[in-house]
Amino acid sequence: MADNTYIDKWSIVAMPCDITGSTTTPPSPPDGTVNYKDVYWLLKAYGSDPSKPKWNPNCDVAGSTTTPPAPPDNKINYIDIYWLLKYYGKTE
Protein backbone atom coordinates (compact mmCIF):
# COMPACT_ATOMS: atom_id res chain seq x y z
CA MET A 1 0.00 0.00 0.00
CA ALA A 2 2.91 2.34 -0.64
CA ASP A 3 0.75 4.52 -2.90
CA ASN A 4 -2.19 4.79 -0.42
CA THR A 5 -4.48 2.82 -2.74
CA TYR A 6 -7.31 0.82 -1.19
CA ILE A 7 -9.07 -1.74 -3.33
CA ASP A 8 -12.60 -2.79 -2.29
CA LYS A 9 -12.23 -0.98 1.05
CA TRP A 10 -13.02 2.45 2.44
CA SER A 11 -11.15 4.64 4.86
CA ILE A 12 -12.17 7.64 6.95
CA VAL A 13 -9.61 10.26 7.86
CA ALA A 14 -10.49 12.22 11.00
CA MET A 15 -8.80 14.18 13.72
CA PRO A 16 -7.40 12.17 16.65
CA CYS A 17 -10.06 10.87 19.07
CA ASP A 18 -12.99 11.88 16.83
CA ILE A 19 -14.48 8.39 16.97
CA THR A 20 -18.03 9.01 15.77
CA GLY A 21 -20.74 11.55 15.07
CA SER A 22 -23.55 9.89 17.04
CA THR A 23 -24.43 7.56 19.90
CA THR A 24 -26.56 5.34 17.66
CA THR A 25 -25.65 1.76 16.81
CA PRO A 26 -23.76 1.27 14.60
CA PRO A 27 -21.76 4.45 15.15
CA SER A 28 -21.77 7.01 12.35
CA PRO A 29 -18.66 8.51 10.73
CA PRO A 30 -16.72 11.15 12.70
CA ASP A 31 -18.32 14.60 12.91
CA GLY A 32 -15.22 16.80 13.21
CA THR A 33 -15.54 17.39 16.96
CA VAL A 34 -14.23 15.43 19.94
CA ASN A 35 -17.20 15.45 22.32
CA TYR A 36 -19.54 13.40 24.51
CA LYS A 37 -20.39 11.11 21.59
CA ASP A 38 -16.78 9.99 21.38
CA VAL A 39 -16.62 9.55 25.17
CA TYR A 40 -19.77 7.38 24.97
CA TRP A 41 -18.21 4.96 22.49
CA LEU A 42 -14.82 4.84 24.18
CA LEU A 43 -16.41 4.04 27.56
CA LYS A 44 -18.66 1.45 25.92
CA ALA A 45 -15.56 -0.33 24.57
CA TYR A 46 -13.36 0.28 27.63
CA GLY A 47 -11.42 -2.77 28.78
CA SER A 48 -11.76 -4.59 25.47
CA ASP A 49 -9.27 -5.99 23.00
CA PRO A 50 -9.77 -7.63 19.58
CA SER A 51 -10.91 -10.89 21.21
CA LYS A 52 -13.84 -9.23 23.04
CA PRO A 53 -17.31 -8.64 21.52
CA LYS A 54 -17.39 -4.96 22.58
CA TRP A 55 -14.10 -4.24 20.76
CA ASN A 56 -14.18 -1.13 18.58
CA PRO A 57 -10.84 -0.47 16.82
CA ASN A 58 -11.75 3.21 16.37
CA CYS A 59 -11.60 3.62 20.15
CA ASP A 60 -8.01 2.33 20.33
CA VAL A 61 -6.46 5.72 19.64
CA ALA A 62 -2.95 5.31 21.08
CA GLY A 63 -0.53 2.94 22.76
CA SER A 64 1.18 5.39 25.13
CA THR A 65 0.84 8.82 26.70
CA THR A 66 4.05 10.06 25.08
CA THR A 67 3.90 12.91 22.57
CA PRO A 68 3.39 12.17 19.75
CA PRO A 69 1.25 9.21 20.78
CA ALA A 70 2.46 5.73 19.96
CA PRO A 71 0.41 3.65 17.51
CA PRO A 72 -2.63 1.81 18.89
CA ASP A 73 -1.88 -1.18 21.13
CA ASN A 74 -5.01 -3.36 20.64
CA LYS A 75 -6.28 -2.44 24.12
CA ILE A 76 -8.87 0.14 25.07
CA ASN A 77 -7.69 1.47 28.39
CA TYR A 78 -6.66 4.55 30.37
CA ILE A 79 -4.22 5.59 27.63
CA ASP A 80 -7.08 6.03 25.16
CA ILE A 81 -9.07 8.01 27.74
CA TYR A 82 -6.00 10.19 28.35
CA TRP A 83 -5.84 11.15 24.66
CA LEU A 84 -9.59 11.63 24.31
CA LEU A 85 -9.57 14.05 27.26
CA LYS A 86 -6.55 15.85 25.80
CA TYR A 87 -8.44 16.43 22.54
CA TYR A 88 -11.90 16.92 24.09
CA GLY A 89 -13.66 19.99 22.68
CA LYS A 90 -11.35 20.34 19.69
CA THR A 91 -12.77 20.63 16.19
CA GLU A 92 -11.32 20.19 12.72
DSSP state string for 22-73: -SSSSPPPP-SB-SHHHHHHHHHHTT--TTSTT--GGG---S-SSSSPPPP-
User: Which is more confident, 9 or 80?
Assistant: 80
Q: For residue 54, what are the domain limits?
A: 1-92
Instruction: Please tell me the distance from the alpha carbon of residue 15 to that of residue 58, in angstroms, as a whole number.
Output: 12
Give the residue from 39, 55, 41 showing the smallest Cα distance to 87.
39
pLDDT-based confidence at residue 85 (cuts at 50, 70, 90): very high
Express each pLDDT in 39-74 by its tens digit: 999 999 999 999 999 999 999 999 998 887 889 999
Indicate the number of domains in the chain. Answer: 1
**Percent of the chain residues topping a pLDDT of 70:** 86
The reply to whether the predicted model has a pTM over 0.85 is no
CATH of residue 64's domain is 1.10.1330.10
CB 22 within 8 A of CB 28: yes
pLDDT-based confidence at residue 1 (cuts at 50, 70, 90): very low
